[in-house]
């Protein structure tokens, strides 16, 4: 059980699925292609190189079969919210395709850090000193350290993960000192019913101040605006995989 004050992952993002009725691998490949096209257009419009923006396909709550269908359509980078779900779904897929990359994007409990460090290529949700401590210890035990992003709660929303704005600079500096180049950049999830662009701009300004190059921002509803504001990673779930099932229990294929 998660504490009730924590925002539930399925409530994040507001775009309804583009189609729900027929959802085979072809529909998924079509949606994936459409998203990539829109990403490229958004980058070009912003006078950016489309190759500088990476799509993280957020497969949380969706079965392994959907991840496989996306892989068959050329997608290699995936995002998951929960360590346990990622641990059940991804190791077999990685064995099939060593180029697969897994980003953990959900709030991370300190008691899950060893599994997270073992599984992930990037952890996008480093948001407090205690988690930095736990990740450091886990990295020493496991002998590996994923790339890291500090998640900033740009809207200072009490129910959200992410370091509050006024504590962000200190956490970023501390993580830079501790993790060096492994601290790659910043991530944010703007408030659901606000114009996201000021939040994207704030994140970009913070990254610039600290000399960090990776900006993870933008989801199904706003990835084009995020690209216009400098996103290098966009995390798109429902616009690729369709609506999320109500519970994560059914996500591991038989």
Ligand X SMILES: *Cc1c(COP(=O)(O)O)cnc(C)c1O
- Smallest distance from ligand X to CB 95, Å: 25
Residues 100-129 that bind ligand X (CB under 6 A): 105-106
User: What b/e string do you get for 192-228 counting C-beta neighbours within 10 Å, with b at 16 or more?
Assistant: eeeebeebbebbbebbeebebebbbbbbbbbbbbbbb
Q: How many CB atoms lie within 10 A of CB 1?
A: 3
Helices (H) then strands (E): counts for the chain: 9, 9
**Residue in the block written with tokens 């998951």:** 80
CA distance 247 to 224: 29
Residues 140-179 vs ligand X: string with x where CB under 6 A? ----------------------------------------
Which stretch, 34-42, 197-205, 214-222, 246-254, contacts ligand X (CB under 6 A)?
A: 214-222
Task: Choose between 41 and 141: whose C-beta lies nearer to ligand X.
Answer: 41
Size of the site for ligand X (CB under 6 A): 18
Under rule CB under 6 A, residue 251 binds ligand X = no
Under rule CB under 6 A, residue 31 binds ligand X = no
Under rule CB under 6 A, residue 236 binds ligand X = yes
Task: Choose between 231 and 236: whose C-beta lies nearer to ligand X.
Answer: 236
Which residues of the chain form contacts with ligand X (CB under 6 A)?
9, 12-13, 15, 58, 60, 81, 105-106, 189, 219-221, 235-239
């Amino acid at each position: 059980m998660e504490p009730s004050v924590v925002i539930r992952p399925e409530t994040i993002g507001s775009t309804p699925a583009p189609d729900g009725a027929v959802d085979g691998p072809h529909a998924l490949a079509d949606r994936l292609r459409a998203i990539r096209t829109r990403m490229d257009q958004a980058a070009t419009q912003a006078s950016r190189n489309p190759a500088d923006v990476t799509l993280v396909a957020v497969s949380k709550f969706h079965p392994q079969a959907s991840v496989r269908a996306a892989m068959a359509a050329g997608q290699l980078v995936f995002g998951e919210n929960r360590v346990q779900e990622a641990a059940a779904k991804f190791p077999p897929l990685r064995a099939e395709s060593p180029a697969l990359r897994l980003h953990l994007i959900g709030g991370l409990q300190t008691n899950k850090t060893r599994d997270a460090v073992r599984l992930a290529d990037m952890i996008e949700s480093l948001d407090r000193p205690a988690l930095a401590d736990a990740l450091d210890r886990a990295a020493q035990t496991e002998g590996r350290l994923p790339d890291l992003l500090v998640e900033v709660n740009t809207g200072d929303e009490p129910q959200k993960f992410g370091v509050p704005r006024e504590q962000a600079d200190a956490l970023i500096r501390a993580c830079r000192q501790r993790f060096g180049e492994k601290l790659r950049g910043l991530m944010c999830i703007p408030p659901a019913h606000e114009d996201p662009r000021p939040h994207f701009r704030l994140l970009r300004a913070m990254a610039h101040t600290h000399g960090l190059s990776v900006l993870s921002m933008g989801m199904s509803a706003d990835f084009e605006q995020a690209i216009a504001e400098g996103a290098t990673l966009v995390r798109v779930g429902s616009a690729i995989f369709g609506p999320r099932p109500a519970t994560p229990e059914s996500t591991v294929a038989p």
